[in-house]
Each structure stands twice: as C-alpha cells, then as structure tokens.
Structure 1
Amino acid sequence: MFFDMGPLEVVTLAILAVLLFGPDKLPEIIQNVVGFLRKVREFSDSAKEEIRSELGPEFRDFEFEDLHPKTFVRKHVLDGDSLGLDEIRSALDPRADLAQVADAVREATTESPREPVTPEHVSLTKDAQSGSPAHAAAFDPDAT
C-alpha cells in the first residue's frame, strides 16, 4: 500500500493524524477512509466486469493491465515472433561469426608446427663504456 513511503514517513503521517484529529476521532476516520476505499475498489471492479461483458466472449481473457504500454509491447511484440524478430536478432548477432573465426584461428595454430625461437644474447652486466656520453640515450627536452 505504501510503495513510495518509508517507515519514517508512515510514522510521521501517523503522528500528524493523531495530532490533527485526536485519539478519540482517529478510529472513526480510519473506518470511514477504509470504507471509502472499499467502495472505490468495488466500483472499479464492477466497471471492469461491465466492460468485459460488453466487449463479448472473444475478449473474455482481456486484462486492463495489458493496456499499459510496456506490457502491451512485451506481450504482442516481444513474446510473439510474428514480426520475425528472432531472424533479425540472429542475423545481427556477431557471436556465431566470432566463434567461426576463433575456431579457424585455433585450427591454424594447431596445424602449423612451431619452430623454437632463440632469443639474441643480451648482456645484463653494465659495461664500462655505457656511462660515456656516446652511448647515452638522446634526450630532447623540447619534445615533451
């Protein structure tokens, strides 16, 4: 009943109701409000039944909630494939093509034998000449 209200707001409204109407009249007012809500609900249910009976037997399963735009689209367009949406989705889905490419790459890599790669010999020791300005890396302060 209180979908958008937190517990603090409900307590605040209860305190305001007690302050405005007093503890003596509050039960009577709550009964009147509940009775009014029941009458409104009965009126709307009878109106729905009257509309269903006037529409005829072919609309016996008609629900008024289906008139909401999101529900209407979900029920008539997305659930039923009368528009060929599954074909369009499958045509635009790149997963099948990517799976074929991945399989082709796997086959190509497993069929060709790999030759061992020999790395070039790199010395990890510091040479005496590396400190000289001739071997220092060129630095351009204007480039940064």
Structure 2
Amino acid sequence: MFDSIGWAEILVLVVAGLFILGPERLPEGAAWLGRTVRQVRDYATGAREQLRNELGPEYDDLQKPLKDLRNLRNMDPKRAVQNHLFNGDDPFGDDKGNQYPSNGSSRQGTSGRTPQRPLGNDEQPPFDADTT
C-alpha cells in the first residue's frame, strides 16, 4: 500500500499534522487514521473474498489482465518489444527456454495460428464485414 510513499513524505505529513492538530491531539489523530486504514483494508479484503467466492474460477480470469499489467510495468521497453516480436502473441514473455531465430525473422506457428502466405501483386487482402 505504501510502496510509493517514502520516509520523507511521512515526515512531512507528521510535521503538517503537528501544526494542524497540535501536539496534544496528534496521537488521537494518528490512532484514528490507523483505525480507519485498517477498517478500509478489512472492507477491501472482505469484498475481494466475496467476489472470489461468487465468481469461482472466473475470478482468476479477471486477475490475469491485472497480473499482465503489473508484469508490463516492471519490464523495460526494449525487452517488451523483443518478446513481442520474437515470442509471438505473448508480450510479457516468460522466456521458457525460447531461442530467438538466427535469421532475424519471427517464428511462425508458435502461437497456434497457421502461417499466412504473402499476397500476390494484384491480390486484394481478405475482407470480413463482421469485423469492421
């Protein structure tokens, strides 16, 4: 929860609380803040558990995009582009022993799709009216 708040910010908040509340009411304010944060955390945990119980296995399907976003946030852009280009559809790439092709071309057929042939000179690309 406090991943982005450092000691300097906490010190500024304590000093501001000291000026706003005064030294006699600061312990009461800190205790109230602690109780409120604990209560909000309990509500969030309860809501998460209730959602998990009601959705069952679909809850994990909802969690996967969030996990992918967390992985993307922690990945440097160069590695993300390389994984997307060379490892198929998985932009986050687990690097499970996959080797990059030596000729620089992307690997065909690793994502379960059949390789497509290039279009001829006068050939039109396929058109699907349902997707537009």
- TM-score in terms of structure 1 length: 0.44
Q: Work out which structure has the larger RCO, using CA pairs closer than 8 Å and 6 or more positions apart in sequence.
A: 2
Structure whose CA Rg is larger: 1
- TM-score in terms of structure 2 length: 0.48
